[in-house]
Every structure is written in C-alpha cells, then in structure tokens.
Structure 1
Amino acid sequence: MFGLIGHLTSLAHAQSVARDLGYEEYADQGLDFWCMAPPQIVDDITVKSITGQIIQGKYVESCFLPEMLSPSRIKSATRKIVNAMVHAQKNGIDITALGGFSSIIFERFNLSKIRQVRNIELEIRRFTTGNTHTAYIICRQVEQASQKHGIDLSNATVTICGATGDIGSAVCRWLNVRTDVKDLIFVARNQDNLKELQANLGRGKILPIEEALPLSDVVVWVASMPKGMQIDTTSLKQPCVLIDGGYPKNMSTLVQEPDVHVINGGIVEHSLDIDWKIMQIVAMSAPARQLFACFAESMLLEFEGWHTNFSWGRNQITVENMDKIGEVSVKHGFKPLIA
C-alpha cells in the first residue's frame, strides 16, 4: 500500500476543506487549534496502471499549515510532519511520499535524526520525498513545452531559479547531460553553493533573477518567490516558457502576456481516472487524472514493489535515477502536464 502526506495552503483553505469533508469540529477553529490537531487519513485511493495492475493507497492530512512556519510555531510544523509519518507507518503503509512543504521541513530541520517517536521506531525506508520524479517531470516539461511553443533548446537559454536546491540541482544536472540546451543560468541565494554547482557542471552563468529573466527563453522556478516580488513582464522574451514549480502555484496570476506560457511545473496527468477525492481539494483542473509528481512517485514505487526511500537527502538525485523513475512513469501511464 502507498501513502501520500499532504497539507493545505492556508488556514482559510483548511477551514473550508474541513467543512467540505464533514469535519465540522475543525471548520471554525483558529491556528492554535490546527497546531494541536492530529494527522488524519481522509481519503482511500485506487490507482490502475495502463499495464492493468491495480494498487491501493491512503491520503494522510498532516494538518500542517504554512502559517506554522513562523519562528514562534516552527516546532508545531516539525511535529506535524513527524506525527504524520508515524500515523502512516502505524497504518501499515509501505511507501509514503512527503508532499509540498513536508519534505522541505523534513530536510531543513534534519528530522531524519528523529528515529524514536513515543513507542514507535520510525522506519525511514518507508518514506520518499518524491523529488526525483518531480525533477524528471520538470525536465520533460522543459523539453515538451519548448517544442510546443517553438523554442529550439539548442539555441535557447534556460534559467533555473532555486538551482542549488534538491530539485533545482537535479534539473540542472539532467538538462546538462540529457539535452543540447545552449546556455544555462543559475539563480539562488547562496553564492558559494552556486559556484560549486557551476564548477561541478563545468558551465552555466550565475546571475540575479532581474538580469536573468530578460535573457531567458525558458525559466524553471523551483524556489519560493520572495514576498512582494514583481515580474516585469515587458522584459520577458516572447515566446517564453515559465515552469512554475512552486506550491501553491501562483505565477499564472502574475504573468499575463499572450506569448509567455506558464506551465504548472511538477504536475503529471495519468492516462486513467484515479478513484480519489483529494485532488479536487487542491483545485486541479482535471482532478481525476492530474496530481503532483512527488505523489506519483510513491504510486510508481508501489507499482514496482520498490518499498524504499528512493528520494532522500539533499542534492543526492542522480541523472540515472531520474531516468529510472522516468521509465516506470511512462510504463504505468503518467505524462508531464504541458497544457
């Protein structure tokens, strides 16, 4: 059995969803209540592969909210993720994906050191961040969206914003060896990490985002956009492809140019309907078939019987593992969303 650990985008969103799911005791409560709320399994899932194989899964709502990332509540945030993992393990789930901020919090605060939670020994092999599949799907989105919109990668500049993160660095490595992209630009906060990435790849320019955007035919955005940042859409090339790999996805509301194409990064579409409710809650345009690539990774691992932490740690994703998860993604009927 596979599992998905997720969370909602805000307190208001959580209250609305709680009401829709029939959890009236949660619906009118404030942030203090949500900080104490335990994880819940709120959805049973059935997925069928195009091979005919059928698997079962469960969605674990962590009850984490982004408002908990404030310094005064960060202990609540970390506790939420660990408790959700314990809940998944106690319910016999073999492989569970950490979705959204769950994996970011886990890595940032090095929660892998926490192996004993009350009377439960946490088995790390049961969990995956899903980042390998996410990175693979974003790379395929770069290729396919570029082709769709008339951008020749062999003459193009691709900027990766968040280039030194787990997903961002994997995207850089894959594009470097699996495509003939002409130029790469790396954007991130830590200059030392950027220089190390540049040295490891043996190519690429390091620029601030304001200088990178006007040069870019494709922008892969896998970092949090600084609060209050505005994109000067008049400075963008046309055509231009923006891959919005953040969560929640909001770039389409910031960019309204006819020949600037915003793609929901890290989203896959399954060939067959999935029996679940949870994707309606996160407002997917086709909730029976569309989902986060990180969630799909746990499904793929279940289909293949790979009950192991396929994606784990920071900057450990290899091009070979991206190819491997990509192969089984195609095998079972998942494809990158480029609409």
Structure 2
Amino acid sequence: MFGLIGHLTSLNHAQSVARDLGYPEYADQDLDFWCSAPPQIVDHIEVTSATGQKIEGKYVESCFLPEMLASRRIKAATRKILNAMAHAQKNGVDITALGGFSSIVFENFKLEQIKRVRNLELDFKKFTTGNTHTAYIICKQVEAGAPKHGIDLSAATVAVCGATGDIGSAVCRWLTARTGVKELLLVARNQERLSALQEELGFGQPTALEAALPQADIVVWVASMPKGVSVDLDSLKRPCLMIDGGYPKNLDTQFAHPDIHVIKGGIVEHSLDIDWHIMNIVNMDVPARQLFACFAESMLLEFEKWYTNFSWGRNQITLEKMDMIGAASRKHGFRPLLT
C-alpha cells in the first residue's frame, strides 16, 4: 500500500476546505489551533495502471501550513511532519511520499536525526520525497513546452530558480547533460552551494533573480516559499516559458500576454481516472487524473514493488534514477502536464 503526506496551501485554504475534509470543527480555527491538530487519514485511494494493475493507498493530511514557517512556529512544523510520517507507518503503509513542504521541512531541519516518535521507531526506508519523479517531469515539461511555444532549446537561455535544492540541482544536471541549452542561469540564495553546483556541472552562471529574468527564454521555478513571487511582466522576454514547480505555486501574477506561457510544473496527468477525492481541493483542472509528480512517485514505487526511499537526502538525484523512474512513469500511464 502507498501513502501520500500532504498539506494545504494556507490558513485560509485550510479553513475553507475543512468541512469538505470531514472536520467542520476546524473551519473557523486560527493558526494556533492548526499547530496542535493531529494528522488525519482523509482519503482512501485506488489507482489503476495503464497495464491493468490496481493498487490502493491512503492520503494523510499533516495539518501543516506554510504560515508555521513564516511565523517561526518551527517546532510545530517539524512535529507535524514527523507525526504524519508516524501515522502513515502505524497504518500499514509500505511507501509514503512527502509532498510539498513536507520533504523540505524534513531535510532543512535534519529530522532524520529524530528516529523515534512517541513509541514508534520510524523506518525511513518507507518514505520518499518524490523529488526524482518531480525533477524528471519538470525536465520533460521544458523539453516539450519549449518547441510548442516557439523556443529552440539549443539557442535558449534557461534560468533555474532554486538551483541548489534537491529538485533544482537535478533539473540543472539534466539540462546540462541532455538538452544542449545554450546558457544556464543558476539562481539561489546560498553562494557557496551555487559555486559548488557550477563546479559540478562545469556549466552555468550564478545569477541574481533580478538579472536572470530579463535574459531567460525559459524560467524554471523550483524554490517553494511560504509566499509567492511577483514578477514584472515588462521585464520578461517574448516569448517566455515559465514552469512553476513550487507548492504553493510561486507565481502570484496572472500573465495576460499571448507570449508569456506558464506551465504548472511537476504535475502529471494519468491515463485513467483515479478513485479519490483529495485532488478536488488543490485546484487541479482535472482532479480525477491530475496530481503532483511527487505523489505519483509513491504510486510508481508501489506498482513496481520498489519499497525503498527512492528519493532521499539533498542533491542525491542522478540521471540514471531519473531515467528509471521516468520509464516506470510512462509504463504505468503518467505524462507531464503541458498547460
């Protein structure tokens, strides 16, 4: 059985969907209440592969909210993720994906050092960040989206915002080795990590965000932040392809321009309807078929019976593992969203 650990995008979002999740008593509560709310299994899922194979899973709502980081409720945030992991393990889940901020909180606050939650010893082999599949899907969105919108990758400048993160560094490796892009702009806050990534790639130029945007034919956003990013429309090239791989989505600007194209990054569409309800509350256009690639990774691991932490640790994603999960993704009927 596979598991998904997720969270809602904001306190307002959480309050608005609490009744739909079956918890009306949560609907009018403030952030302090959500800081103390326990994880809950709120959905039971059945997925059918393109091969005909069927699997079952559970969705664990962690009750984590991004405002917990913005308001420095760090202990509450870390407790949320650990408790949700323990809840999934106690309920017999074989492999669980840490969605959205779950994996970021786990890695940034080194939660692997905390192996015991109450009376349960966490088995980290039962968890995956899902980042390998997310990175693979974003790269495929770049490869398919560029020519669709009149951009020649061999002549293109690509800016990766969040380049030193787990997903960002994997995207940079793929773009460098597999696509032949003309120029790669590496955007991140940590200069030491930027220098190390540039040295590893032997390619790419560390660049500030404000300088990168006017130069980029393609912008890949893979840095998740509690609040979105405002982008000056007039600063962008025409055409420009923007792939927003954050959750919540980083771009809070609606681009009403025919030459500015935004793709929901890291989203896949399944070839068959999935029997679940949870995607109805996260603004998917086709909730029965569309989902986050990180969630799909745990499904793929269940389909293939790869019960291991396939994606784990910072900057450990290899091209070989991206190829491996990509082949499984295609086999079982997932494809990158291109809108």
TM-score between both structures, scaled by the size of structure 1: 0.97
Using the alignment, how far apart are the partners of 2:59 and 2:305 within structure 1?
19
Does the 8 Å CA contact 2:228/2:252 hold for their aligned counterparts?
no
Matching of residues 290-329 of structure 1 within 5 Å: 290-329=290-329
**CA deviation vs aligned residue, 1:117-166 (integer Å, no higher than 9, x gap):** 11111000000000000000000000000021111101111110110011
SS of residue matched to 2:309: coil
**1:202-226 CA distance string (max 9 Å, x none):** 1111111111111111110111469
Q: Hey, what does 1:126 align to over in structure 2?
A: 126
Which residue of the partner structure matches residue 160 of structure 2? Answer: 160
Q: Distance in 1 between matches of 2:4 and 2:310?
A: 15
For the structure 1 residues 288 and 268, does the alpha-carbon distance in structure 2 shift closer, same or farther, using more than 3 Å as the test?
same
Q: Superposed, which structure 2 residues align to 1:172-191 within 5 Å?
A: 172-191=172-191
Larger mean Cα displacement after TM superposition, 21-30 or 178-187: 21-30
Q: 1:93 — aligned with what?
A: 93
User: How far 1:70 sits from its partner (Å)?
Assistant: 3.9
User: Aligned-pair distance for 1:237?
Assistant: 1.3
Partner amino acid, structure 2, of 1:115: K
Q: Distance in 2 between matches of 1:232 and 1:80?
A: 36
Contact 2:43 2:59 (C-alpha < 8 Å) held by counterparts = yes
Matched, 1:151 2:172: no
Q: Which sits farther off after the overlay, 74-83 or 233-242?
A: 233-242
1:256 Cα shift? 2.7
Q: Contact 1:103–1:129 at 8 Å: present in 2 too?
A: yes
Equivalent-residue separation in structure 2 for 1:331 and 1:252 (angstroms):
35
Q: Is the 8 A contact 1:4 1:59 kept in 2?
A: yes
**Partner Cα distance (2:217, 2:229) in 1:** 20
The aligned residue for residue 234 of structure 2 is: 234
Q: Amino acid of the residue matched to residue 12 of structure 1?
A: N
Partner of residue 211, structure 1:
211
Aligned to 2:4: 4
- Residue 22 of structure 2 corresponds to which residue in structure 1? 22
Distance 1:107 1:237, change over 3 A: same
Partners of 1:231 and 1:254 within 8 A in 2? no
**Secondary structure of 2:163 counterpart:** coil
Aligned to 1:261: 261
Cα distance in structure 2, aligned partners of 1:105 and 1:227: 16
Deviations 1:262-318 (A, max 9, x none): 000000000000000000011101000000000000000000000110000000111
- CA displacement at 1:12 relative to structure 2: 1.7
Deviation for aligned residue 1:253: 2.9
CA distance in 1, matches of 2:210, 2:286: 34
Alpha-carbon distance, 1:47 to partner: 0.3
CA distance, structure 2, for counterparts of residue 317 and residue 242 of structure 1: 23
TM-superposed CA distance for 1:240, in Å, is 1.0
SS of residue in 2 equivalent to 1:313: coil
Deviations 1:217-269 (A, max 9, x none): 11101114696853221221111100011111252634332101000000000
Structure 1: any 5+ residue segments left out of the alignment? none
Contact kept, 8 Å, 2:224 with 2:250, in 1: the verdict is no
SS in 2 for 1:307: coil
Alpha-carbon distance between aligned partners in 1 of 2:94 and 2:226, rounded to the nearest angstrom = 37
Q: Structure 2 vs 1, CA of residues 72 and 245 (structure 1 numbering), >3 Å: closer, same or farther?
A: closer
Contact 1:230 1:254 (8 Å CA) reproduced: no
**Partner Cα distance (1:10, 1:56) in 2:** 28
CA distance in 1, matches of 2:90, 2:22: 24
Is contact 2:214–2:235 with CA below 8 Å preserved after alignment?
yes
TM-score calculated relative to the size of structure 2: 0.97
Name 1:137's counterpart in structure 2. 137
**2:50 maps to 1:50:** yes
SS at match of 2:253: helix
Structure 2 match to 1:278:
278
Contact 1:231 1:255 in 2 (8 A): no
Q: Which moved more, 1:217-226 or 1:146-155?
A: 217-226
Take 1:42 and 1:252, find their aligned partners in 2: how far apart are those partners?
28
Contact 1:161 1:186 in 2 (8 A): yes
Deviates more, 1:211-220 or 1:100-109: 211-220
How many residues are matched?
A: 339
Q: Name whichever of 52-61 and 239-248 sits farther off.
A: 239-248
